[in-house]
Amino acid sequence: MKLIVGLGNPTREYQATRHNIGFDAITRMCDDYRIRLDSKEHKAICGKGYIGGEKVILAQPQTYMNLSGESVRELADYYKLTNEDVIVICDDINLDVGQLRVRRKGSAGGHNGIKNIIAQLGTEEFIRIRVGVGAKPEKWDLADYVLGRFPKEEEPVIREALEKVSRACECIITDGIDAAMNLYNRK
């Protein structure tokens, strides 16, 4: 079983913002694999189904970004999952809009959601898929930028990136993390 967690903030005001790209990825995967987000458990909205023949739990933590690790830890503990069974999807301002970076482990890289997951799991060793949302413009406040919406001209790029995230998760499940990194860590 795999736990696939998309990071974001739970209230309506944050929908479709750069910081909620993880939530958007989970929504896309629900559509692609006919999984319904129909239960609330362990501080997350969850859906259960299959991707690539493997049972998965798709989750959108409802704790707000900075406490995402609470939900991830509770879900991993309850379902007796190892850190290798956890895949986290989040935004990254250090990547071009729509660019993916798949990693088997790593630092938080300044992302507070990832930082909290590392603290809660006690390790940096879990798979993450970072989705580029572009660099913060000069003189902009970082919070204002990541909590802003994509301009219309970037929406097609983001839709394509969400499709790639969905396929990357299936690739991780069926072919392994190395295959996914080789396929999706390209500009």
**Positions marked catalytic:** 19
Measured CA to CA, the distance from residue 180 to residue 175 in angstroms comes to 7
Tokens 């006690």 locate to 122
- How would you label 161-187 residue by residue, b for 16+ Cβ within 10 Å and e otherwise? bbebbbbbbbbbbeeebeebbeebeee
CA distances from 168 to 116, 130, 144, 165, 184 (A): 24, 11, 29, 5, 7
Write the single-letter amino acid at 137: P
